[in-house]
Every structure is written in structure tokens, then in C-alpha cells.
A = this chain, B = another copy of it.
Amino acid sequence: MRIAIDAMGGDHSPDKIIQGAIESLEFLPSDDAIILVGPEELLREKLAAVMARYSNVHIEPASQVIGMDDSPVEAVRQKRDSSIVRMVKLAAAGKADAIISAGNTGALVAAGVLMLDALPGVERPGIAIPIPNGYNRVLLCDAGANVQPKAAHLHQYAILASVYSQTLYDVAAPRVGLLNIGTEEEKGTALVKETRLLLEKDGGLNFVGYIEGRDIFTDRCDVVITDGFTGNVVLKVIEGMGGSLLRTLKGQMAQLPAPSAAELAPIIKKTFNLYDHEEYGGALLLGVSGLFLKVHGSAGHKAIRNAVHAAKQATVHNINERISARLSERVA
């Protein structure tokens, strides 16, 4: 397979992105290719040693960069030679089987939606994020692609995310929960109620009903379905709270005698890593042809390496063929 990586996306580009890409070569078979997308001269310089050693590392030139604060749709339309647009073009032209970026999520999603074909039968692509919860992980979808979805879109996300959960995480029958503000039937918005009816009727899903925000952390489900507004807020609340708690705990530990603090530090690190979604490989754009992975803006080399690993897994298991089969099943 051919994996294209946006060398210019995220806070730690290009160095950490390139480092993660290089580390991936350790586990990728030599007939898989890595294509780094970015300014040609810069990449030639940084990759000289690696390209001398590995013949499966390539450069796709892109002279522009879309910044984290650029207006997504405008940036995609205007910066035609940006690393994001060039990378997505590779996928659209069938020259990359998977694309990975830590860049501007909105621009990535806009580029994906504008330039990639949706899989047959998919109405709107959705973003899924694996959220570690101390037990395992739940796949939260939609995390921001579709802020005012229809019930039919959320139904499709349940199907798409279930196939991803089966394929990437080996969950045999992913439990699908619909995020709501209570578990009683009368609770929630009109959208949530309409979606529940669709999910209940779909015998191919393992729908467990309404779940609440706290159930993301109680091992009640493997897939959490919600609109892109709520999903995006939830994701950022989890990030914000984890970071804040960790800072406070470290501040408190500074009051301990040094030997005790040294003993405790690895335990605290280990625990918080269990809740860090960056450790789990970042976002997926579900429902497009080709595999599309968005890693977090502050992604380091580890997150890039994990994303390459996830892309490899998904391709080995023919994820998109399985989605198409599942969607045509429903029509038939």
C-alpha cells in the first residue's frame, strides 16, 4: 500500500512528522511506500539520509501550507499547492491508499469532502475519534464533520463506525450507543429521537440505546453516535480536563519529597496515557474512498507512527469493501 503523509501539518511539523514517518518504516513491509508531502527542497534535505537507505520513501512537492487558523473551505480553494490539497489529490487520483495529516481539521475534512468520492451509498462523510476510557476505547462519531446532521446521517455513522470498530479494534459486535441527556425515551432533541427509531430498526447493528456523557467512561458501548457539534465539544472537554488535572496533580506532587515524587511520576504518567486519545491514533474520516486519518494538531512522532500502523491494519482488513457490502445489504 501507499501511505501519503502531510509533512507540514500540526504544531510539530515538519521534524516530528518526518520522524514518525521514518519510524514507521521499521514495521512496514518494503513493498509499502511512504510519500511525504511538502516543500520539495526542505524535504529532500531532511530525508536525504533516509532516502539513501530506503527506496520506498518518496516526496510529493507542495509549496504552500494551510495554517491552523486558515478558514478551511477558502484555504482549500485558494491554496491549491498546499500539502493538504496535494496529499488529498494523491488519494483522489488513486495514487495513495491512505493519507495522514496533523493539520487544520476543517481544511482536511473540506478537502476530503470536496475532492474524494464518497463511498457508494454514503450521504455525508463523518469524523470518528477513538477515545480511550480506562477500560478500552470508544469510537466517537461524528466529531465535527457534520454539525447539523439529519437522522439518516447519524444512522450511516453507526454503520460506518461499527465496521471500523470491527476492523481496526477487533470488536466482534460493536455496541452502539446514541448520546443523549438521559436514558428515558422522552429525553432529548427531535434529532436524537428520530435517530433512535432508525437504529432500533436496523437489525445489523448492536444498538444498546441511549447513553449519557458519563457512559463514555463506563464500558457500556464501543461506538458513540452523536451530531458533529456535540461530538467536537465532548472531545475537547476530555482533552481540556485531562490536561488540567494532570497539571494540578503535578503541581501538588512538587510538595512531596523528591524520592516519593520520583516513585509516583511513572504511575501518574501511565494513568493519564490511558486517557490520551493521541495515544490511540487520531481521527478517521469515515465514508470516503481511501483511508483518511487525521491526527491531533499537537501530534508528535508517536502519533504519526500509530496512525501509519492503523492505516495498515485497515487496509489489510479491506475496510471500505466491508462498508460498501454493509450499505448495499440495507438497500437490498
Question: Are the C-beta atoms of A217 and B233 separated by less than 8 Å?
Answer: no
A228 to B187, CA, bound (A): 12
Question: A144 in the interface, Cβ–Cβ < 8 Å?
Answer: yes
A179 to B188, CA, bound (A): 19
- A84–chain B nearest beta-carbon distance, Å: 17
Q: Choose one: B228, B229, B234, B243; the contact of A217 (CB below 8 Å).
A: B243
Identical copies in the complex = 2
Question: A94 in the interface, Cβ–Cβ < 8 Å?
Answer: no
Question: Are the C-beta atoms of A213 and B234 separated by less than 8 Å?
Answer: yes
- A243–chain B nearest beta-carbon distance, Å: 7
CB under 8 Å from chain B, chain A span 284-320 = none
Question: A238 in the interface, Cβ–Cβ < 8 Å?
Answer: yes
Interface mask (A140-168 → B, CB under 8 Å = 1, otherwise 0): 00001001100000000000000000000
Question: A63 in the interface, Cβ–Cβ < 8 Å?
Answer: no
Question: Are the C-beta atoms of B232 and A181 separated by less than 8 Å?
Answer: yes
Question: A200 in the interface, Cβ–Cβ < 8 Å?
Answer: no
Binding-face segment, A1-9, A85-93, A114-122, A266-274? A266-274
A206 to B83, CA, bound (A): 40
For this complex, into which size category does the number of interface residues on chain A fall? Answer: 35 or more
- A33–chain B nearest beta-carbon distance, Å: 34
Question: A170 in the interface, Cβ–Cβ < 8 Å?
Answer: no
A324 to B52, CA, bound (A): 75
Q: Please, which residue of chain B has its CB at the minimum distance from the CB of A239?
A: B214
CB neighbours of A245 from chain B (8 A): 134, 242, 245, 271-272, 275
Question: Are the C-beta atoms of A214 and B240 separated by less than 8 Å?
Answer: yes
Q: Choose one: B179, B247, B274; the contact of A233 (CB below 8 Å).
A: B179
Question: A42 in the interface, Cβ–Cβ < 8 Å?
Answer: no
Question: Are the C-beta atoms of A234 and B237 separated by less than 8 Å?
Answer: yes
Question: Are the C-beta atoms of B256 and A267 separated by less than 8 Å?
Answer: yes
CB under 8 Å from chain B, chain A span 91-138 = 106, 133-134
A192 to B227, CA, bound (A): 14
Q: Please, which residue of chain B has its CB at the minimum distance from the CB of A212?
A: B236
Q: Choose one: B186, B239, B264, B268; the contact of A260 (CB below 8 Å).
A: B264
A-B CB contact pairs (8 Å), 14 listed: A73-B186, A133-B244, A144-B181, A213-B237, A216-B240, A216-B241, A217-B240, A226-B233, A233-B233, A237-B238, A238-B241, A242-B245, A249-B268, A252-B267
Chain A residues with CB under 8 Å of chain B are 69, 71, 73, 106, 133-134, 144, 147-148, 179, 181-182, 184, 186-190, 192, 212-218, 226, 228-230, 232-245, 247-249, 252-253, 255-256, 260, 263-264, 267-268, 270-272, 274-275
